[in-house]
Amino acid sequence: MTAERERAPEQAAPAVTEPDLPAPDGAGRRVRPWHLGMAVYLIGLVWFLVAEGFPLDRERQALLIILGMLAWQVGRPLRRWGRTLGDWLPFFAALLIYDHTRGVADSLGRPVLLEGLLDAELKLFGGVLPTIWLQERFFDPANVHWYDVVASLIYFSHFFVAWAIAAILYVRSRDAWVYYTKLILTLTFAGLVTYVLLPAAPPWYAAWYGFTDPIERAATRGWWEIGMHTAGRMLETAQAGTNLVAALPSLHAGTSMLVVLWAWPRVRNVLGRAFLVFYGAGMGLTLVYGGEHYVLDVFMGWAYAAAVVLFWNWMERRKKQRQLDAVPDPARIAAS
């Protein structure tokens, strides 16, 4: 009887279960409805990308991802369709709000940080502007080099890597997806608040108004070399309509670093971690070389990403501690 009593708490402990996720249908060999749904979706996606190119606007990106998530739910209960829409629509709605309010930063009459940021960059690097230093040595107006192509691909990854990770996480674990989207939204709106309070101009803007030597916007020139003409034209159109003084922090740098910090504890092999370092550093170097951001913008984006990850990791630890504190202590119950 004594042994049975000692084992009782362990036997009574609740089983740890995964969230309400799709069953592992891939284990079976027969074709299932979601297989057909994903096949139709992938065919349609390939057709769209060939015909229209990769979408850089949030609306079409959201539509493609949500359609993919719904294709994954084909043949499953309708409540999962509803939950998929209920999860993704608010997430993308928040990002759309960011897109449409980002331009507020240059319309509130606050002074634009231009010469001050330029002077700080020059002081940090001994009177040399890193963007001009890089372009003088590597930018060739007459030729597109291999590193221009690599830089353009890294720059382009900003428009799909974070969202591809979100889609994969949603399929694998909704809890992991919720945590990841908290990171993305917190970083995005922290950047928005900063743009409103402290509008700042990028290097090419300073050169445009004659505050420094000419600077080329070179981050996307490699696209044309590898035939990504549609993407190049779309980005040029998008750049023309964006807020020109929303540079500090760099959300390109911040989002890439957020991906690196999120993935780091989940990637255990040396090659994987080396790629993460290359991706984070490569994005920062691309932004500076391309004239899109100062090094200070990049550092600020990295700092924001680190702060967001540290904050939500702390919140998760507090949540788990509260859950542990809520579990009755068998020894304390027995003593009472």
Is residue 162 within 8 A of residue 259, CB to CB? The reply is yes
- pLDDT attached to residue 109: 57
What whole-number distance in Å separates Cα of residue 108 and Cα of residue 100? 15
Per residue in 184-214, pLDDT tens? 999 999 998 898 888 888 999 999 988 999 9
pLDDT in tens, 7-19: 444 444 444 443 4
Q: How many CB atoms lie within 10 A of CB 188?
A: 21
* Range scoring the smallest mean pLDDT among 7-21, 65-79, 317-331: 7-21
Give the SS3 label for residue 95.
Answer: helix
User: Each residue of 252-290: pLDDT tens digit?
Assistant: 999 999 999 999 999 989 999 999 999 999 999 999 999
State the DSSP string of 190-235: HHHHHHHHS-B--HHHHHHTTSSS-----TTHHHHHTT-HHHHHHH
In the block, tokens 């309708």 appear at 78
Q: How far apart are the first and last CA of the chain?
A: 21
The per-residue pLDDT for 234 is 55
Q: Which residues pair with 246 in a beta bridge?
A: 200
Reported as a single tens digit per residue, the pLDDT across 82-132 is: 888 888 888 888 887 776 666 665 566 577 888 889 999 999 999 999 999
Is it true that the peptide bond before 249 is cis, omega within 30 degrees of 0? yes
Higher pLDDT, 225 or 15: 225
d(CA 128, CA 125): 5
DSSP state of 15: P
Q: How many helices (H) and strands (E) are present in the chain, helices listed first?
A: 16, 0
For residues 307 and 115, the model is more confident at 307
Mean pLDDT of 138-149: 90
Longest dimension (CA), the chain: 88
Quote the CA–CA distance of 136 and 124 in Å, as a whole number: 19
Nearest in space to 184 (alpha carbons), one of 111, 262, 276, 126: 262
Arithmetic mean of pLDDT over the chain: 81
pTM of the complete model beyond 0.85: no
Grouping H, G, I as helix, E, B as strand and the rest as coil, residue 244 is coil
* CA 260/CA 318 separation, integer angstroms: 23
Nearest to 329 by CA among 2, 61, 9: 9
β-partners of residue 102 are none
The conformation of residue 290, written as its DSSP 8-state character, comes to T
Q: Which pLDDT band holds residue 142 (cuts at 50, 70, 90)?
A: confident
What is the predicted pLDDT for the residue at 228?
A: 56
Which residue type occupies 123? K
Average pLDDT over residues 32-53: 79
